[in-house]
Amino acid sequence: MNTPTPIAVKVDNVVKSFANGDSRTFALKGASLEARFGELLMIVGPSGCGKTTLLSVICGTLKFEEGDVAVFGHELRAMRNGDITRFRRENIGFIFQQFNLIPTLTAVENVSIPLILKGVSTAQAEKRACEVLEKVGLADKYKSYPSQLSGGQQQRVAISRALVHEPRLIICDEPTAALDSVSGHKTLELLQESAVRPDRCVIIVTHDSRIYEFADRIVQMDDGRVVGQFDDPSQLSHA
């Protein structure tokens, strides 16, 4: 019997460039990493080194020129666009720096979106959304619009939206950058508590050294490549 692979996401020598007038900017120059099931992996590195590009490649929203990306054993290169979109909706939850909530929808409506996209009825989706919002301490804010919530509360709505359909991969791009240190800490506590599971994987891109302590492993990028790996976040304390 085959033992299941502990690798959730495998990025192998990926090259991605963007047209830039007459020249090309190489955002990824042979980036490789592995993210394991059950871990909270952080990706750090200077501005412009390719972190967001790498996340977009893993999500299948950006095509790449060379290399391979496999998510839960599915080679993205071999999948058609429609299949990648479906795969993403089923398997990936996103959390962004600016929360990306829809301003004209209430908290509960925002959180319902991933379920509605999967074909769940509005009534069922909203019931489930309320349950998740209650878990993150927002039971009294179901009907609030994003503009009526604090930054930390908006990020908790965004986390609820990322987790409501129980995705196996949670991708976060600078989730604490717009938060003060207390809210940033709470956001990571919540993610650790609700998203880190043996059958899941959480990947967080961050500049925020205050949250390194939550990482199981940190990979460091520079100039389009992964250049280092640390099991002990304190090894990066100088960063």
> Interface with ligand ATP by CB under 6 A: which residues?
18, 20, 25, 27, 47-53
Distance CA 127, CA 172 (A): 25
- 23/147 with CB nearer ligand ATP: 23
The token duo for 132 is 């998740």
Using a 10 angstrom Cβ sphere, with 0-12 exposed, 13-18 middle and 19 or more buried, the burial of residue 82 is: exposed
Nearer to ligand ATP, 3 or 20 (CB): 20
Could you tell me the two tokens for 176? 């604490």
23 binds, among ligand ATP, Mg ion, none (CB under 5 to 8 A by kind): none
Closest CA to 152 of 129, 180, 126: 180
| Residue 49 interaction partner, one of ligand ATP, Mg ion, none, beta carbon < 5-8 Å per kind | ligand ATP
Residue 93 contacts which entry, ligand ATP, Mg ion, none (Cβ below 5-8 A, type-dependent): none
**Which CB sits closer to ligand ATP, 127 or 207?**
207
- CB nearer to ligand ATP: pick between 27 and 158: 27
Among Mg ion, ligand ATP, none, the one that 47 touches (CB under a kind-dependent 5 to 8 A) is: ligand ATP
Phi/psi-derived region of residue 91, left when phi > 0, alpha when psi is between -120 and 50, beta in every other case = alpha
